[in-house]
Amino acid sequence: MNSERDKITMTVILLAGKILLSSGAEVSRVEDTMRRMAISMGYYNSQGYVINVFINFSLSEDHDTRIVRINKNITNLLKIFQVNTISRQLSSNTLSIYEAHRLLQNIDRTSLSSPLWQKVIAAGIISLSFLYLLNGEWINVPITLLAGAIGYLIVEYMQSKSLTMFIPEFVGSFILGSIVILGSQMIHTYESLGPTMIASVMPIVPGVVITTAIQDLFSRHMLMFTAKFLEALVIAFAIGSGIAIAYLIY
């Protein structure tokens, strides 16, 4: 780096990009945010390349290129919103680069996530909402609520332990599928098993991954579209396999 200004600008831009990408933002948003932040600091020829595991960025052809590796990708829309707000303030000259650095460090250090018990309750409510949309029977409400909440709890807990990818979805879908099948057998509601099963599995479906993959496709980021689409496909396969095994057993 040529100066202290170059160093702090590069640090802030890479930190913002890292937070966005690790929080589930699409590649086009990450690259655009980094470019706009560089322009706001007077670097009009910046170059950046982003994929799902690393960020490559340079302020100009006369500056060094730095790479940041992304170790874990989760979905955190609040962090994406906060980084976008900081980027807009920096672009409008209402925030200094040093203040932006401090705020981004605070965002990176904190989880900014709801407690697990609140997520579990929300997952159960989501399952009930889909049961209503699918014209499910009211007698299946307790089964759907329990299966959706427990399935999501298992997936979140296993993911927090940094286990192998796709295994949490497989185990979670197997257990929630078992709950739905056994519950339907107990109350003799076999004819409404389909809507109950679909509603229960919806909280662990990779909807954000599919959405960002489509956005990357529209932005001509074919590599990221392929990577995210395959990730969503394998997760869907893991979920389907878990439910299928539950059907075979019970």
In the predicted model, is pLDDT for residue 207 greater than 80?
Answer: yes
Q: What is the pLDDT of residue 168?
A: 92
Q: What is the pLDDT of residue 164?
A: 74
In the predicted model, is pLDDT for residue 1 greater than 60?
Answer: no
- For the entire predicted model, the pTM comes to 0.80
For 38, phi then psi, to 5°, come to: -65, -40
Average pLDDT score over residue span 51-72: 86
Q: Judge whether 37 and 16 are in contact, CB under 8 Å.
A: yes
Q: What is the pLDDT of residue 126?
A: 94
Q: Judge whether 193 and 153 are in contact, CB under 8 Å.
A: no
How far apart CA 16 and CA 13 sit, in angstroms, is 5
Largest distance between two CA atoms of the chain: 73
- Cβ neighbours of 219 (radius 10 Å): 16
- Between residues 233 and 208, the one the model is more confident about: 233
Run of H or E residues at 149: helix 141-160
> Alpha carbon 57 to chain centroid distance?
23
On average, the pLDDT of the chain sits at 89
Q: What is the pLDDT of residue 194?
A: 87
pLDDT tens readout for residues 103-155: 999 998 887 677 888 999 999 999 999 999 998 888 899 999 999 999 999 99
Q: What is the pLDDT of residue 16?
A: 94
Q: What is the pLDDT of residue 26?
A: 86
Does residue 238 sit in helix, strand or coil?
Answer: helix
Q: What is the pLDDT of residue 70?
A: 85
Q: Judge whether 227 and 51 are in contact, CB under 8 Å.
A: yes
Give the residue extent of every domain in the chain. Answer: 4-109, 116-249
Q: What is the pLDDT of residue 222?
A: 86
Task: Give the amino acid at 66.
Answer: R
pLDDT grade for 220, boundaries at 50, 70 and 90: confident
Q: What is the pLDDT of residue 98?
A: 92
